[in-house]
Amino acid sequence: MPIDKSGEWWKGSEYADLQEYLGLLDTEGYLVERVVQSVCTCGGIVFRLQADAEQGCAARTCVTCSARAFICDSGDYWGEAEPEWVRCSCGSERFEIGVGFAFRADGDVRWITIGVRCTACGVLGRPVDWKIDYGPTAHLLQQA
C-alpha cells in the first residue's frame, strides 16, 4: 500500500513503505540512495532502538532474542553518547528499522539515515542520522 500522508504523521503498512519514505528524504542535501533492512542474527526484524542524535549513533535490540547490535559505526562513538530509547508518538518502542545510505562520487558512504516504522501504528520516522567523513566505508553496508 502507498504511504498514508493524510494525518499528522506519515504512516506505512509494511517495510517497503519505510524504504520509500527514506528515499523521499533530503538530509543535509544528501538523498538516500540505498536502504538496508536491519535483521537480527536470529532472523528477527522488530527492534527497540537507542539513539543519540548529537553523537550520531544508534543501537538496536531484537525483541525476539534480546540481542543488541550497534548500527554501522555507532560502537566507535557510543562511549561519549547519551543514548535515549526511541518511542513512537503512540507510545510503542517496537520498530522495523531501515538504514539509508547516501554515497560520495567514489562510492564511499557519505551519510547514514536511520528510519523506523512503528509496528503498532505504522508511523514512519527518522530518529537519527550522521555524516561519515572517512573511507573506505564498504563495511558499513553490512552493519545495518
pLDDT per residue over 96-117, tens digit each? Answer: 999 999 999 999 999 999 999 9
pTM value is: 0.95
Contact 71, 143 (CB under 8 A): yes
State yes or no: cis peptide before 2, omega within 30 of 0.
Answer: no
- Band (pLDDT 50/70/90 cuts) for residue 26 is confident
CA 78 to chain centre: 16
